[in-house]
Structure 1
Amino acid sequence: MTSARRRRTRRRSVLNALAVLAALVWVFPVYWMVNTAFVPTSELFGLTPKFVPFPGTFKHFSGVLQDDKFWSALRMSAAVTSVVVVLAVLFGFMAAVAASRFRFKGRGALVMLVIVVQMLPAEALFISQFRMLDDWNLLSTVTGLSLLCLGGNVPFTMWLLRGFIDNIPAELEEAAMVDGCSRVGAFFRVTLPLLGPGLITSSVFAFLHTWNEYNLALIVMTKTDHATLPLWLRSFSSETSATDWGGVMAGSALIAIPVIALFMSVHSRMSSGLVAGAVKG
């Protein structure tokens, strides 16, 4: 083995070790959340931490699953997330097509405006958003929260999908048009199938942003029986009693299951989509 190859092997080993260490740092909070969910309440505040919850208990999970407010919050979060993901991808896709394929006056300004909108702090809009929804009688409704979440997701989705569309040569559509396709038909038959990774990536980002949304839900959902899952977690803490950390961790673990399942089902397409979308745009 030459000295150059030994250096490369040594360097790769060091990088692999650093990657494993970084992965452990990222995974540890998830492990600790699940571990705490199985630890009995009497042992949660012990001075010696339990890294393996043996024998463990399912009391925290059973308490969460028997709570009617959990299922109500789950339905609310599922409804809002479904509406936002579908509409954000639809509207963002149409805006991305317009910004990428059509030449019109102010196209550059439109793209710059989308980027500027993403820089605005969400907290600066809370008062105006609350008053707007109050005037429209949309407080504590799926429609009201979905509308605000759409406002935060559509610009990012448009910007992300524009990079994917720019990365697909327009000559492919022109060749299809030469063969007899219309402009719309060429796009849907040639370009759209190539945008699968981009659509999946943007859908995952919209799902994560909406599923974990707390601040907007706190402003909009003023009724306790219309809470989403992040708001429901507050029920384990009150001013008159100690925080039920076992319940918090069990609830958080259950809330994370859809996110983990989604990533496991689309992670390969999402990885290729992130790389493809970063090439041009």
Structure 2
Amino acid sequence: MTTATVRARIPHRKRSVRRRVSSIVLSVIAVIVFVCAAFPVYWMLQTSFQPNNEIIGSQVNFWPKTFTFRNYETVLFATDRAQFLPALGNSVIVTVLTVVIALIFAFLASLAVTRFRFRSRKSFILTILIVQMIPGEAMIVSTYRVLDDWALLNTIAGLTLVYVATVLPFTIWTLRGFVNGVPVDLEEAGMIDGLSRTGAFWKITFPLLAPGLVATGVFGFIQAWNEFLLALVVMSRPEMMTLPVWLRTFQVAHGTTNWAAIMAGSTLMSIPVIIFFLVIQGRMTQGLVSGAVKG
């Protein structure tokens, strides 16, 4: 082996060592990030199986000393507060209606501002951004008075209307990027092949936009499922509470808060979210990727 060959292999070995070191460092960082993200979920889950007196003590337990399902029995079958199943039903109905209605209106609006040219188009887009900047808490009083005048307080329709108005601006803005990323030439090519404009849209453009609709619907789902303040104002009756408001009933001003029951309720509240993401995770990944690439 010549000296030149040895010298040529030394930099190659150094690069190989650097790649291994960087790979190990990145793997360690990924593990740390995963642990930091997963630990709160684990803590909530293991706390839900402990008696409340073990939780409020000074000793920290990373595993239940006394394993019990009593917290879940309290959450599901307690009669001294609002019931879990009606709250679950209210949350599911409001969330589904919000996502479906918001996606329909946002889809039509994004098509209008992307595919058509009209005089107030830029003003409409600017208005969407301005509305998105206004915090929902600033409109609680006016929202309450409007719903009260329309007799929509403590109704599914009233809360859904509020959620749709809250979610719609961001949904339109996001879907506009997905629609803008699908070239009009694809529809024109389909029309040359004999399809009508409507047929070209449904057979060519819409399948390409489906992942974007799923990815955008995730935002509406998270907003509607986890929203607390507006639901607290609009839904004051116990039988009309959504899950975030229902979970608040376990906190007491005077006495000991049943934190174990709160953790059990939080765990049950997370199950529909997990199921939802397991069902749409493939489509959601496609939507995020397609929304990041234009052309």
TM-score bracket, normalised by the shorter chain, equals over 0.9
Aligned partner of 2:55 in structure 1 is 44
Q: Give yes or no for contact 2:182–2:294 (8 Å, CA) kept in 1.
A: no
**Kept after mapping to 1: 8 A contact 2:132/2:169:** yes
TM-score in terms of structure 1 length: 0.95
One of 1, 18, 32 as aligned partner of 1:21:
32
In 2 relative to 1, CA 67–195 (structure 1 residues): closer, same or farther, beyond 3 Å? Answer: farther
Asked if 1 retains the 8 angstrom alpha-carbon contact of 2:190 and 2:200, the reply is yes
Post-superposition CA distance 1:77-125 (Å, at most 9, x none): 1111111111011111111111111111222222222122111111111
Aligned to 1:10: 21
Checking the alignment, whether the CA contact within 8 Å between 2:181 and 2:294 is kept in structure 1 is yes
Amino acid across the alignment from 2:232: L
2:282 to 268, 271, 274: 268
User: For residue 201 of structure 2, what is the amino acid of its counterpart?
Assistant: F
2:43 is aligned with 1:32: yes
In 2, the alpha carbon distance for the partners of 1:93 and 1:27 equals 35
Query: Aligned equivalents of 2:130 and 2:290: distance in 1?
Result: 24
Q: Distance in 1 between matches of 2:286 and 2:33?
A: 22
- CA offset at residue 205 of structure 1? 1.4
Separation of aligned partners in 1, 2:53 and 2:294 = 55
What code does the residue aligned with 1:61 have?
Y
Does residue 60 (structure 1) correspond to residue 71 (structure 2)? The answer is: yes
After TM superposition, give the deviation of residue 279 of structure 1 in Å.
Answer: 2.8
- Cα displacement (A) at 1:31: 0.8
TM-score normalised per structure 2:
0.91
- Kindly tell me the number of residue pairs found equivalent between the two proteins: 281
Decide which of 228, 245, 251 is 2:265's aligned counterpart.
251
Residue identity in the other structure for 2:290 = A
- Shift in Å at residue 278 of structure 1? 2.5
Kindly indicate whether residue 92 of structure 2 is the aligned counterpart of residue 78 of structure 1: yes
The match for 1:191 is 205
1:107-118 mapped onto 2 (5 Å cutoff): 107-118=121-132
| Larger-Rg structure | 2
Deviating above 2 A after TM superposition, structure 1's stretches of 4 or more consecutive aligned residues are: 278-281
Matched residue of 1:57: which SS? coil
Shift of 1:222: 2.1
Instruction: Quote the residue 1:121 is aligned against.
Output: 135
Q: Does 1:210 align with 2:224?
A: yes
* Counterparts of 1:213 and 1:11, CA distance in 2: 41
Could you list the runs of 5+ residues in structure 2 that have no partner in the other structure? Answer: 1-11
Give the Cα–Cα distance (whole angstroms) in 1 for the partners of residues 294 and 170 of structure 2. Answer: 16
Q: Report the Cα distance in structure 2 between the residues aligned to 1:271 and 1:13, rounded to whole angstroms.
A: 26
Structure 2 CA distance for aligned equivalents of residues 14 and 272 of structure 1: 29
Task: Kindly provide the CA deviation profile for residues 35-89 of structure 1, in whole angstroms up to 9, marking residues without a partner as x.
Answer: 1101112211222211112441100011112146111111111111111111011
SS of the residue corresponding to residue 194 of structure 2 reads coil
Taking the aligned partners of 1:217 and 1:269, their CA distance within structure 2 comes to 29
Counterpart CA distance in 2 for 1:242 and 1:169 is: 60
- Aligned 1:132-151 pairs, distance under 5 A: 132-151=146-165
Matched letter for residue 13 of structure 2: T
Per the alignment, do residues 40 and 187 of structure 1 end up closer, same or farther by CA in structure 2, a change over 3 Å counting? same
Q: CA RMSD in A?
A: 1.6
- Alignment-mate amino acid for residue 189 of structure 1: K
Q: Any unmatched runs of 5+ in structure 1?
A: none
Distance 2:281 2:206 in 1: 20
Match of 2:184 in 1: 170
Query: Does 28-37 or 194-203 show the bigger shift?
Result: 194-203
